[in-house]
């Protein structure tokens, strides 16, 4: 934003305050602040405007790469004549919002959005001139009742989106005589609104309360705010039935979003016309048919009826002339006919997860985004598909019954960024032109679970922009192409369950963004010790199982996997995905299969905090490398079915996140280290078929694993094995009991163990079921797991107390 032209000369104290503000921050990357110096008039500095008396009234420093703490002592807050203050989009400005913000009595515009401010919201009650307040995309929390919003007579825009605010939404916001736009989306507001009393605003135009935890009866008072243009209450927890007829009074309404609000919508009204909205989102509203009033929405552009219970065919009248975004996914639709009055503007068409069948025939020529996945289409892919969808960015035909070869015409889709043909019965080879297209816009190529054969052409362009290459479960063979190293942005490489015959792909040393590497069940061989210049610091999932790799485990390569170390702190909500540039809020979501507890599980979202190492069923030898002891973020470690030797290392007990550990079928010797009892999250353990000796350590849960976890180790003894030990038990929790001469009757404590195992049988399967992964946040799951662990630990302490009682301690 350009600074205002002024005639006043900067006052000296104003210049000193600005330079003090600059010196308190890291501003070395700021284009504006690098020009601030004592030798020039501060009113002429970039981002500064002054009044005629030389007092600073405007400070514009948005997107200047500033970093550092903002607090009450900062000289910024002594510029008391400021009217416009903008520090947005600096990302690394942090600290609690200072109470001294109230010292700006003339402030009209305040924007601290897209930074790292935290803590509670200070009071803005005294800023009676404030018109626009933007605090979105920070880490602010607590209630927003600190401000008497009705005392701000000029406030027009309030934007608190994407923070962690909680508690109730102040009802006074909807009674303000000045507020036009309220944005409170993506917070943790809760509770209901109850019966609304008082006069509603006559100027309010925008209300966005989406993605919160609001509950109770739907706030019907919003249908009385007749000036509304935009209303979004989606992704909340309201209850009951809402009649859409209530919104008939809102003549100015342009956008209505009630999706995923835990409500049922009654769309059966015919008497009064519905507002001629541009955008209508009724996803997951328990609709069973297409609402009849849609016929009369002549200007409708965006329609989302996904995840309902709509059956039958798509009516021809749905294709209005202005409609360009249609989402009918996750219903029970069976028939798709080419409409006679199809809009030439149709750019987004999503019908995935229905029951469409037969030929794949209706392909809108103007589409940017086309998702026909997970239906029952059963035909060849039309040979001219690429010529028809020549401007399409995203094409997904996954999860159907398509057969035949991949048409070369797909290479004619100029802007093709995502191509997903997975889970079909396609055969033949991968077209060479598709490989060459990796040098254009192609970012995702997913052809897994087909019957493709042949090799991957070694003609990948030098400017390859590929992010995901998933060819799992085909019949592809040959070598991993050397030119794949040109894909420097590659994040997911899955070549598992094929017939590749090659050595470890050390030549991918330039793919520093690699996060997922799956080579499982091929014919790879040789060692995996790459040169020192091969580093994959972002690697979080590696699966080399069921090959013929040999030699020692690669200590040097392991040391470069920084994502498995504890200094990585990414938000729980982060997961691997590829954004489609020309379609807002639509992206391709990566998935991968991992083997845990001997079962193959599909991670439908690859969370960036999930890490696993599976090197099982190879010919690795030698000791377990010490580098693994640094992987404090590791969830799964499987080194089974190799030829590993040496002791079971104690550093494995220092991996606090570890949930599954399989070292079975090796030649590990010596005692089980006591430190393994520190693994409070461990839910699967297999040390069978080794050469371990000594007593199994007593710990909070290690005895809860089955006998099969320890069998065929001739020298092991103690619970849960039936083999008794001759020597006193080793326990980290107290002295030996053997001196009492009393014997513990393990049948006496079996009730306790049964109780614990019963809880595990209920909770632990939920952790890995698809619906649990899809519907429950990782934070919630981890809390559930933590509670289960505490129950297990508590019950084990109870068991030990019973043992002590029996022994007469």
pLDDT digits (tens, 9 = 90+) for 381-418: 999 999 999 999 999 999 999 999 999 999 999 999 99
What are the tens digits of pLDDT across the range 198-208? 788 899 999 99
- pLDDT, residue 584, reads 63
Strand pairing report for 592-596 and 599-603:
antiparallel
pLDDT tier at 790, thresholds 50, 70, 90? very low
Of residues 277 and 703, the one with the higher pLDDT is: 277
Q: What average pLDDT does range 586-612 have in this prediction?
A: 83
The pLDDT of residue 762 is above 50: no
Tokens of 493: 């490489």
The answer to whether residues 729 and 718 touch, using CB atoms and an 8 Å cutoff, is yes
Q: How far is CA 383 from CA 23, 30, 163, 369, in A?
A: 64, 53, 49, 19
At residue 791, the pLDDT reads 52
Q: Using the predicted structure, report yes or no on whether residue 298 has a pLDDT greater than 80.
A: yes
Residues 6+ apart with CB under 8 A from 33: 22, 27, 47, 61, 64, 66
pLDDT for the residue numbered 99: 85
pLDDT tens digit sequence for 536-572: 999 999 999 999 999 999 888 888 898 898 754 444 4
What pLDDT is recorded for position 100? 82
Model pTM score: 0.84
pLDDT given at position 700: 65
In the chain, what percentage of residues exceed pLDDT 70? 86
Q: Tell me the Cα Rg of the chain.
A: 31
Mean pLDDT in residue range 426-453: 94
Mean predicted confidence (pLDDT) in 316-328: 90
Residue-wise pLDDT for 46-60, tens only, equals 999 999 999 999 999
Give me the pLDDT at residue 588, please.
87
Residue 795 pLDDT greater than 80, yes or no: no
Mean pLDDT of the chain: 86
Indicate whether 222 pLDDT > 70: yes
pLDDT of residue 2: 41
User: What band does 342 get if pLDDT is binned at 50, 70 and 90?
Assistant: low
- Average pLDDT of span 125-134: 94
Residues 77-128 pLDDT 10s:
999 999 999 999 999 999 999 888 888 899 999 999 999 999 999 999 999 9
Backbone dihedral angles phi then psi of residue 618, each to the nearest 5 degrees: -130, -155
Residue 627 pLDDT grade (very low, low, confident, very high; cuts 50, 70, 90): very high
Please check the confidence at residue 32 and state whether its pLDDT lies above 80. yes
Closest C-alpha among 430, 442, 513 to residue 478: 430
Please tell me the distance from the alpha carbon of residue 88 to that of residue 115, in angstroms, as a whole number. Answer: 7
In the predicted structure, residue 194 carries a pLDDT above the cut 50: yes
Q: Is the pLDDT of residue 39 over 70?
A: yes
Strand 67-69 relative to strand 92-96, pairing = parallel
- Residue 737 above 50 pLDDT? no
Report the distance separating Cα 716 and Cα 695, nearest Å. 6
3-class SS of residue 78: helix
All residues at 6 or more sequence positions from 370 whose CB lies less than 8 Å from its CB, including other chains: 349, 363, 364, 389, 392, 394, 395, 396
The whole-number pLDDT of residue 613 equals: 96
At 531, the pLDDT band (50, 70, 90 cuts) reads: confident
Q: What's the pLDDT score for residue 778?
A: 40
Q: Is residue 802 scored above 60 in pLDDT? A: no
Distance CA 620, CA 283 (A): 51
508-530 pLDDT, tens digit per residue, is 988 999 999 999 999 999 999 88
The answer to whether the beta carbons of residues 496 and 520 sit under 8 Å apart is: yes
Helices and strands (H and E) in the chain: how many: 7, 56
Q: Of the given ranges (26-30, 134-138, 255-259), which has the lowest mean pLDDT?
A: 26-30
Contact 720, 699 (CB under 8 A): no
């Amino acid at each position: 934003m350009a600074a205002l032209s002024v005639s006043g000369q900067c006052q000296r104290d104003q210049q000193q305050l600005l330079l003090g503000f600059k010196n308190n921050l890291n501003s070395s990357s700021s284009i504006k602040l690098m020009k601030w110096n004592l030798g020039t008039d501060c009113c002429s500095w970039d981002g500064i405007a002054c009044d005629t008396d030389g007092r600073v009234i405007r400070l514009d420093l948005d997107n200047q790469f500033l970093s550092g703490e903002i607090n009450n002592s900062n000289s910024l807050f002594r510029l008391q004549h400021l009217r416009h203050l903008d520090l947005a989009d600096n990302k690394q400005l942090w600290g609690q919002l200072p109470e001294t913000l109230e010292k700006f009595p003339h402030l009209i515009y305040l924007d601290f959005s897209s930074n790292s401010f935290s803590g509670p919201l200070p009071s803005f009650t005294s800023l009676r001139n404030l018109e626009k307040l933007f605090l979105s995309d920070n880490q602010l929390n607590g209630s927003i009742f600190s401000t008497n919003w009705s005392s701000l007579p000029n406030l027009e825009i309030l934007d608190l989106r994407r923070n962690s605010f909680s508690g109730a939404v102040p009802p006074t916001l909807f009674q303000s005589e000045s507020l036009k736009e309220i944005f409170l989306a993506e917070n943790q507001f809760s509770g209901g609104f109850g019966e609304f009393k008082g006069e509603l605003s006559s100027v309010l135009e925008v209300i966005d309360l989406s993605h919160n935890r609001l509950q109770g009866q739907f706030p019907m008072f919003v249908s009385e705010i007749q000036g509304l243009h935009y209303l979004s209450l989606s992704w909340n927890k309201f209850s009951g039935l809402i009649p859409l007829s209530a919104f008939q009074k809102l003549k100015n309404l342009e956008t209505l979003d009630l999706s995923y609000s835990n409500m049922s919508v009654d769309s059966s009204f015919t008497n009064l016309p519905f507002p001629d909205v541009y955008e209508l989102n009724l996803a997951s509203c328990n609709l069973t048919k297409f609402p009849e009033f849609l016929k009369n929405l002549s200007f409708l552009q965006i329609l989302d009826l996904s995840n309902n219970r709509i059956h039958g065919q798509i009516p021809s009248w749905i294709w209005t002339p202005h409609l360009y975004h249609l989402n009918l996914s996750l219903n029970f639709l069976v028939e798709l006919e080419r409409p006679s009055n199809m809009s030439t503007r149709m750019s987004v068409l999503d019908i995935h997860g229905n029951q469409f069948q037969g030929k794949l025939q209706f392909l809108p020529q103007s589409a940017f985004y086309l998702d026909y996945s997970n239906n029952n289409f059963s035909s060849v892919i039309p040979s001219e598909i690429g010529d028809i969808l020549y401007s399409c960015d995203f094409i997904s035909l996954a999860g159907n019954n398509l057969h035949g070869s991949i048409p070369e015409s797909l290479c004619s889709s100029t802007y093709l960024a995502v191509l997903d043909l997975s889970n079909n019965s396609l055969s033949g080879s991968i077209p060479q032109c598709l490989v060459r297209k990796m040098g254009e816009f192609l970012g995702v190529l997913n052809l897994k679970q087909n019957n493709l054969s042949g090799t991957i052409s070694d003609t990948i362009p030098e400017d390859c922009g590929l992010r995901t290459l998933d060819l799992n479960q085909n019949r592809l063979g040959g070598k991993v192409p050397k030119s794949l190293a040109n894909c420097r942005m590659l994040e997911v490489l899955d070549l598992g369950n094929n017939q590749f015959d090659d050595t470890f792909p050390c030549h991918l040393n330039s793919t520093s963004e690699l996060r997922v590497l799956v080579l499982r069940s091929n014919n790879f061989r040789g060692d995996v010790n790459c040169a020192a210049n091969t580093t994959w610091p972002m690697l979080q999932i590696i699966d080399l199982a069921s090959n013929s790799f040999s030699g020692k485990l690669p200590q040097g390569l392991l040391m470069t996997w920084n994502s498995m170390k504890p200094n990585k702190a990414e938000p729980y909500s982060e997961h691997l995905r590829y954004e489609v540039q020309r379609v807002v809020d639509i992206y391709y979501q990566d998935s991968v299969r991992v083997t845990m507890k001997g079962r193959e599980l599909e991670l439908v979202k690859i969370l960036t905090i999930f890490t696993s190492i599976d090197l099982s069923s190879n010919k690795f030898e030698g000791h377990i490398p010490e580098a693994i002891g640094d992987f404090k973020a590791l969830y799964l470690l499987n080194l089974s079915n190799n030829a590993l030797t040496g002791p079971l290392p104690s550093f494995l007990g220092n991996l606090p996140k570890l949930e599954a550990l399989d070292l079975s079928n090796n030649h590990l010797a010596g005692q089980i280290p006591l430190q393994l009892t520190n693994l409070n999250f461990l839910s699967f353990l297999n040390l069978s078929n080794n050469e371990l000796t000594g007593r199994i350590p007593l710990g909070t849960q290690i005895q809860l694993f089955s006998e099969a976890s320890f069998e065929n180790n001739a020298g092991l003894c103690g619970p849960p094995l039936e083999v008794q030990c001759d020597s006193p038990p080793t326990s980290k929790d107290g002295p030996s009991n053997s001196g009492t001469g009393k014997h513990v009757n393990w049948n006496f404590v079996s009730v306790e163990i049964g109780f614990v195992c019963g809880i595990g049988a209920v909770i632990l399967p939920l952790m890995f079921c698809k619906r649990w992964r899809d519907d429950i946040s990782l934070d919630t799951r981890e809390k559930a797991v933590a509670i289960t662990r505490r129950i297990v630990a508590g019950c084990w302490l109870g068991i030990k107390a019973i043992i002590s009682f029996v022994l007469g301690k």
